[in-house]
Structure 1
Amino acid sequence: MNATNAGQRYAPPAILLHWLQAALLLWLFWLGWSMVELPKGAERSAAYALHKSLGIVALGLVLLRLVVRRLAPPPAPLAAGREAMLAQAAHRLLYVLLLVLPLAGYAASAFTPYAMKFFGLELPRLGAPDEALNALFKRVHWVAGWAVLALVALHVAAALRHALRRDGTLARMLPGRLSRN
């Protein structure tokens, strides 16, 4: 990995992790949306367990992305002025929310009477079951989820705008051959 990433493209590990995170987020949103409609029973329990495990994977991915970002900083923005400032603010907020979202989900789960598991492996509790704390962290998880969804929509809209302008911004995050005009 190039420590300076002086080129115009993101480092290959950053590109890979970006697209893995995007796919995982789509899966998590779909699963989160659909699991609440399931009737109580084995299928619903399995959906919740998978959602929780994938949420922990998403947290790990964003932490890994932050390490990769530190080792291989992104290329300088092609935009300037207010557009660059807004893009940087949106990216920072997205990273914060990508941390808050799974942490709040974990905390909400940790304050229920049910064991918190990561693909079957029991994880430590944060405390005794507490309905008020569970409700608080569920609310934070819900709000952060919708905020991430809104920022992702803005991110996709900006990417489409860059694609239509053909300014090269989108190509810097596309894998290999897709990045060529």
Structure 2
Amino acid sequence: MLKNSADRFGLISRLLHWGIAGLVVVMLSLGLRLSDMEPGLANLWLYGLHKSLGILTLSLMLARILWHLYTPPPRPMGGGRQAIMARTAHLAIYALLLAIPLSGWIGSAATGLDVVIFDRWTLPAIAPISPLWEETAFTLHDALTKVLIALLFLHMGAALKREMDGDGTLRRMVLGRARD
């Protein structure tokens, strides 16, 4: 089953979820490593990889949003405050996974250097060449990433707790359904 239903996640939603999750883990690891480095010729390829994976993450998030408009995801399991918190957390994660790559793209464009993706495609500059734009965008990129890390720990912890409580939330995101 590719599409979502009222109580199941379809294969496309699950592949997008776990693919983006994997990319985010790689991006966070790479970003933390890059924050400890001075840019130089020996490590320039790592910056290019980070930018490329960031644009891929942004693209997959846009695809995920379009997919969810086409085939809405099932409602959060349970109800009340827990469901409201789950929806709010998901919306915040979605917003951050759009804002973080965009702020990185803006900061990179503001340096005046071309933003080249996978050593193949040059993206248009979406900001003027400006030290102020560069500093502001990268400061925002860093701050939003820290918020994302905290929110992802909360998200993973809630999913694990709910699974240990036996409600099937995590199982539904892995297998598409909460119960056999």
Alignment of 1:55 with 2:60, yes or no, is no
Give the TM-score, by structure 2 length.
Answer: 0.91
Question: Separation in 2 of the partners of 1:110 and 1:90?
Answer: 30
CA apart distance, 1:36: 2.7
Distance of aligned partners of 1:92 and 1:128 in 2 relative to their CA distance in 1, 3 Å threshold: closer
> Structure 2 vs 1, CA of residues 152 and 4 (structure 1 numbering), >3 Å: closer, same or farther?
closer
RMSD: 2.0
179 and 81 in structure 1: CA distance in 2 versus 1, 3 angstrom threshold? closer
Q: Which amino acid aligns with 1:163?
A: E
Q: Aligned residue for 2:64?
A: 65
Identity %: 35
Instruction: Give the drift of 1:5.
Output: 1.2
Tell me the TM-score normalized by structure 1.
Answer: 0.91
| 1:17-56 → structure 2 map (5 Å cutoff) | 17-56=16-55
Give the number of aligned pairs. Answer: 179
Distance in 2 (CA, whole Å) between partners of 1:39 and 1:136 is 19
> Is it true that 1:80 corresponds to 2:104 in the alignment?
no
1:122-144 residue CA offsets vs partner (Å, 9 max, x unmatched)? 22113442000101110111111
Shift of 1:3: 5.9
Q: Report deviation, 1:109.
A: 0.3
CA distance in 1 between counterparts of 2:4 and 2:173 reads: 16
Match of 2:130 in 1: 130
- Contact 1:16–1:175 (8 Å) recurs in 2: no
Paired residue type of 1:62:
M
Superposed displacement of residue 38, structure 1: 3.1
Cα shift readout 1:95-148 (whole Å, capped 9, x = no counterpart): 111110000000000000321111122221134420001011101111111111
Distance 2:10 2:136 in 1: 38
Deviates more, 1:101-110 or 1:31-40: 31-40
Q: Aligned equivalents of 2:179 and 2:83: distance in 1?
A: 23
Provide the rounded CA distance (Å) in 2 between the counterparts of 1:130 and 1:151: 31
| Equivalent in the alignment of 2:174 | 174
Partner in structure 2 of residue 140 of structure 1: 140
Q: Kindly provide the CA deviation profile for residues 139-167 of structure 1, in whole angstroms up to 9, marking residues without a partner as x.
A: 11111111111111111001110111011
